[in-house]
Amino acid sequence: MNPLKPRVVRDDDTGALISEGAGEAAGAPHKLWGGRFAGGPSPILEAINRSIGVDFRLWPFDVQLSKAWAVALWNAGVLTLEESREIERGLDVVAERLKGGTQPTAADEDIHTMIDRLLHEAVGTVASKLHTGRSRNDQVATATRLWTMDACVRLDAAVRELQGVIIAQAERAQDVLMPAYTHMQRAQPVSAAHWLLSHFWPLDRDRARIAAAARGANELPLGSGAVAGSAFPVSRVLLKESLGFQGVIRNSMDAVGDRDFIAELLFAISLMGAHLSRLAEDLILYGSSEFGFVKFGDGFTTGSSMMPQKRNPDALELARGSAARFLGDLVSLLGALKGLPSGYNKDLQDDKRALFDAVDAALLVLPAVAGTLAELTLQEKRMQAALSSTMMATDLADYLVRKGATFRESHGAVGSLVRQAEERGIEMTELPLDAYKAAHPLFGDDVMDALSPVSSVQHREAVGGTGPEAVRAQLEAARQALHPAHEQPQPTASANELSENVVLNV
């Protein structure tokens, strides 16, 4: 290709053919716009407008949708079959170059401009026909949706991995008893498996929300043009099928301005971050010397530069901190969206900063939490030692109810016994039988049986309870929740493959 030859491109907003780059030397700006401007933009504008450092990672999906667009233009009679195939061949060359590590030049405004430049280098002026009837507005919306659907698949897999670790630990902990807490005060004894599974189900809801976000992204905007739709008879149904979308967005203005699917995924990640933070907080507390319920391994903890004895649960603390980061990404996007007029606005360029940041961080945090949990060991003796007799106060009240007392009078009688034990500084098991009979005449010689943690747990076999059979049933339900996986759109194999191992040095 002659670098001095004028290049003809189509204006984003009007669709008109414009001459660009007359006398343009190699390395000079390669823009998709500019024919109506007498001079070039300010370097300051170019700096703030340049987004390739963020959107470079969209390239596999931009190549994918561009190939589909070339076929759609042939189907619409805009391109000949030979031109369409030549453009597709050129896009394959572009993909190989990008996969091989080709980096943007200082003049590449965004990934769409870079791909257009590389396509011209590969096939010459026929590349100028590819942008016919489309805008970067519907182009970037389509690439971002494809990327988001692929990200949802990867997020779901990472959440499932963590859930699998929770199940594995819970299976080993079914017979281990520990205190459950309300208001951070010891409340009642539970199976350690029951505690672990209390973190499984929020993650399962997170997977459902991620799947819903993927469905929200699974509608095609391509063919909407800049705002009013394409002026050429491209088949959006054909595009939908070739790109793997389940539907077509019905309104072109909505198509280019809609970022609900990003907000939905950021909300799902934010709430998942809160759930991960709560799991992390439990483990951090339980791993402290004061609790000692769990012991951390070496792989996901660090030491102190000053204190040789320290073992710090850094992975969990970073997971806890990431919850705030996820929330910040969500608020950043919603703050940008709430004041926009209809159609596309440049404010939306920052949508990908929030999206990519949240997904990247989540895909680091999830395996870090999974790894930490997988290598920790439960300290059964410490858990058992933390079970005090006052935690069976509710069981004492239930004992009286089974003998015919009302719960109100049972509550009062047991409360008086708890107070006596506290005042004497002894366990309730050390109170004499006379004290129980004085508190309520229905207390019998078998009252001490009600103060057994094992008995307390065994009485709670209602669905969702901590009884041994209830926990076994819950474990089976958790296993079933992972197989099959929540419905997810599958990533396009070629785009997914191209996404791997590509590094951008900007």
pLDDT tens-digit readout, 458-478 = 999 999 999 999 999 999 999
Q: What is the DSSP secondary-structure string of 451-496?
A: G-HHHHHHT--STTSSSHHHHHHHHHHHHHHHSSPPP-PPPPHHHH
Label the pairing between strands 7-10 and 17-20: antiparallel
Output the pLDDT for position 12.
42
Label the pairing between strands 247-248 and 219-220: parallel
Residue with tokens 């709670």: 460
- Give me the mean pLDDT over the 438-454 stretch: 93
- The yes or no reply on domain 137-385 and CATH 1.20.200.10 is yes
pTM to 2 decimal places: 0.87
Q: What is the C-alpha separation between 125 and 9, in angstroms, rounded?
A: 9
CATH architecture of 389-459: Orthogonal Bundle (1.10)
pLDDT in tens, 284-301: 999 999 999 999 998 888
Share of the chain above pLDDT 90, in %: 80
| Catalytic site includes residue 288 | no
**Residue 414 pLDDT > 90, yes or no?**
yes
AA letter at 295:
K
Report residue 393 CA to chain centroid gap.
42
Q: Can you name the CATH fold of 7-132?
A: Fumarase C; Chain B, domain 1 (1.10.275)
Q: What is the C-alpha separation between 53 and 56, in angstroms, rounded?
A: 6
Q: How do the domains of the chain map onto residue ranges? A: 7-132, 137-385, 389-459
Contact 298, 315 (CB under 8 A): no
Query: 492: which strand partners?
Result: none
| Catalytic site includes residue 183 | yes
Same fold, 7-132 and 137-385: no
**Residue 19 pLDDT > 70, yes or no?**
no
AA letter at 75:
N
**Residue 102 pLDDT > 60, yes or no?**
yes
Contact 231, 134 (CB under 8 A): no
Output the pLDDT for position 306.
85
Residue tagged active-site, from 42, 304, 342, 416: 304
Share of the chain above pLDDT 70, in %: 87
Enclosing H/E stretch for 37: none
Which of 30-34, 133-137, 221-225 shows the lowest mean pLDDT across its residues? 30-34
**Could you give the 3-state DSSP secondary structure of residue 502?**
coil
Q: What is the C-alpha separation between 70 and 53, in angstroms, rounded?
A: 26
**Residue 151 pLDDT > 50, yes or no?**
yes
Which residue from 97, 85, 88, 203 is spatially nearest to 155, judged by alpha carbons? 203
- Give me the mean pLDDT over the 68-97 stretch: 98
pLDDT in tens, 31-79: 664 556 556 677 777 767 788 999 999 999 999 999 999 999 999 999 9
Output the pLDDT for position 37.
56
